[in-house]
Amino acid sequence: MVSINYSSREVCCKIVYYGPGLSGKTTNLQYVHAKVPGNTRGELISLATEADRTLYFDFLPINIGTINGFAAKFQLYTVPGQVYYNATRKLVLRGVDGIVFVADSQPDKLDENIESLVNLEENLVEYGYDIDDLPVVIQYNKRDLPGVMPVQELNARLNRKGWPTFEASATVGNGVFGTLKLIIKLVLDKAKQTSAPEPPPVASPKETVGISSGPVAPVTAAPTGTVSPAAAASPSPEPQPPAEVVGDKDESGTVSPPQVMPEGQADGYRPYPGERQVESASKKISTSSFAPTRKNESEEAALGKNVVKPEDDGQEATPSRMSTPTMAPPLRHRGGTRKRGFFKRLFGVR
């Protein structure tokens, strides 16, 4: 199928020269390559053996100018004529837009012409192509040789579908460009019938803000207690089940701020590390539930026994009955004088 690139404004078509071996397919491309100007043709790639028989294909891209604002490019291929290279024949036919069947006009090549034409139809069917839907031109080559078959007889045996024909002699160039011009014309006519319309231009970001293609209505704030048309038109979200609320209650009846448990995790929920600090900070301590903790005797002994225990008679300890804690002796200088502090030395205080 014709490849149309709208961004680069190019139309690329593929034309394949098909036929039996030594019928003149490669000679057609060589003559075209030699006569076409260098700025309108590409490099001719040919893989041939010592017997000068093409094993793969010839490729000749040709640029013939612009057509309706599109640059038209044609890629010319040939296939190997030998039957045992049928896999290569089939591969070259992939994506074909037009076919030039090069037939040998000699009587002893008639069976090879028929066999190659049948092989062409079979390979097209495997790709899902119908030969009746493709542009086809038959070229009766080697008309300059003596003893060739008449054109009427060749048409009766090979051209049962009524395809256009050309008499040619590829070695001298007779009918080569006539065949090429006709197949190009048929391919372009076919492309005009099956080409898709040009895609619309991409809308700018400002035009794609609204969902509808029409003008976007201005957004106005609705008064309190009323529902805007946009909000009424939009579907309301489905109500979600309320999450389980968990709170703590102390002896005074004060309830700590509730903690919302995740849905489905209220039972057997284990907090993550760090959540216990939040719980402890949220709890309130009342005066009735507060009681100072008492240290044991070993801790009191470690502190120098400065805390006096109450008497056995149950009386509370008073400040007069508590022993005065001993202070550490002041630091003395080696010479017997008191060592001044850092700030006193800094500011010169005696």
Q: What secondary structure does DSSP assign to 47-76, as a single string? A: -B-TT--BSS--EEEEEEEEETTEEEEEEE
Read off the pTM: 0.56
Collapsing DSSP to helix, strand or coil, 233 comes out as helix
Q: What's the rounded Cα separation, in Å, for the pair 209 and 197? A: 26
Express each pLDDT in 291-338 by its tens digit.
555 555 555 555 555 545 555 444 554 554 555 555 555 555 555 555
At 150 the pLDDT is 95
Q: What's the rounded Cα separation, in Å, for the pair 4 and 234? A: 43
Residue 309: exposure state from Cβ atoms within 10 A (0-12, 13-18, ≥19): exposed
Q: What's the rounded Cα separation, in Å, for the pair 204 and 88? A: 48
At 297 the pLDDT is 58
Q: Are 83 and 115 in contact (CB under 8 A)?
A: yes
At 278 the pLDDT is 47
- Which of 135, 131, 121 is closest to 90 using CA atoms? 121
Query: What are the structural domain ranges in the chain?
Result: 3-194
Fold of 3-194: Rossmann fold (3.40.50)
Q: Are 43 and 34 in contact (CB under 8 A)?
A: no
Q: What's the rounded Cα separation, in Å, for the pair 81 and 112? A: 10
Beta bridge partners, 48, equal 54
Express each pLDDT in 141-171 by its tens digit.
999 999 999 999 999 999 989 999 999 999 9
Q: Name residues of the chain where pLDDT drops below 70.
A: 1, 50-52, 55-56, 194-341, 343, 348-350
* CA distance readout (Å), 196 to 1, 2, 5, 108, 284: 12, 11, 11, 46, 77
Count Cα neighbours of 204 within 13 Å in the Cβ-side half-sphere: 2
Q: What's the rounded Cα separation, in Å, for the pair 99 and 124? A: 11
